[in-house]
Amino acid sequence: MSFSRQIGYTRERGKGSGGGGWLMKSWWTGTRSSATNRASGYGRLALACGLLLAISAVVAEDSVGAALQGLTRQAEAGDREAQFALAQNYLQGKGVKSDARQAAQWMLRAARQGHGRAQFFMGVMYRSGLGVEIDNDQALQWFRLAATWGDKDAQTAYRDMKNRQAAGQIASLAAAAEGGDSESAYQLGKLYLAGEGNVQRDAQQAAHWLQQAAEAGHVAGQYELGLLYHKGAANLTADEEQARHWLQTAATAGSQEARVLLKDISRAQQATALSKGEQIRQLVQRVPYLDQAQQGDAEAQFRLGMMYIRGEGLERNSQAGLRWLRQAAGQDNRQAQLELAQLLVRGVEVDQDYNEAVRWFSQAAQSGDAEAQYMLANLYRSGLGVEQNSALARKWYEEAARQGHAKARSRLGGG
């Protein structure tokens, strides 16, 4: 206890009638003084903590600002990773005020430099209108580019958008066709015939819509319907009477394709009337290398197969053409492998079969054929006849590009 307080207590003690007053005052004064000291200490501690927090916040803000400035400088210098990171910052409001338009601008710059994830985000932004105007075509383009490099999210988004577009197209065509539009009925028939979009191949449905178009005077529809009945399909029996009727109708309306096919059918019917020996004799006269093909010469087999496919020098016969091409391809004739695979992909002269096409493209590609390498890359890229594989697609594009294949170079972004 200080000296002055002792004097005060002594004086107070002399005034009282007993010692109790002095004791009470002494206790009260001492207690109040201790409480005041503690409160003062707590206040100073709280002030110190507040100052430290404020200083830390300023330092942290300065650090974030410095980092953001550095990132911006890198992005402006053309660093695509920095551009992507800066776009993410603007999207999420990290260190900057959230700004979708700024995010879109930086994301686009990264995407144009081939940043796969930025390409995916550009698809998302165009699809949803985030920082840009909604544009489904642009969204599809960016999803497709990102999917090419193996981005699973982009592959899923691209597939979903294509399916939705196809479903919308089919619904629109069906509504127009049911309203009497022959072109829509024709297009819908072709979709079912090829199994495109979100539609399973169905020859009966194709015949239904093609007949609707044909009956309305659609010349191409008449030809396609005649061709379908001539060839038949898995769930549609060939009907030569219907085939001839619709082909003749189309030919009368001016279809050159129908006229050619009718002539081929007539020649085929005449040929069936000849004896087998006579057919062989005539064939040997028309095809000088038939004997070589029968003896196993791969080049002769290839040439004979193409003559059958094209109807050059003998009657067009797709099945016979396929048989000879397969024999030649099986003997590693690269031309036969390539032609056979292309026929199977087109699905015009013969039934479409991507699985077999992959087999022959693969053999020709491994033998160094640039066109086969490019076509095989396309199939890996789209997942037709083989599981989608962007890495293998890129590998075969690069192989073809090394041989100067222009389209492969274009796919790789080289021209």
CATH of domain 42-145: 1.25.40.10
Q: What is the pLDDT of residue 66?
A: 72
Asked if 42-145 and 288-411 have one fold, the answer is yes
Q: What is the pLDDT of residue 273?
A: 61
Burial 230-245 (b: 16+ CB within 10 A, else e): beebeebeebeebbbb
Residue type, 398: E
pLDDT tens, 385-408? 899 999 999 999 999 999 998 889
Predicted structure pTM score: 0.38
Q: What is the pLDDT of residue 286?
A: 57
pLDDT tens, 340-378? 999 998 887 788 899 999 999 999 999 999 999 999 999
Rounded to a whole number of angstroms, the distance between the first and last alpha carbons of the chain is 95
Which class would CATH give 163-194+201-233+240-272? mainly alpha
- pLDDT under 50 in the chain at which residues? 1-29, 31-32, 55, 57-61, 415
Q: List the domain boundaries for the chain.
A: 42-145, 163-194+201-233+240-272, 288-411
Which class would CATH give 288-411? mainly alpha
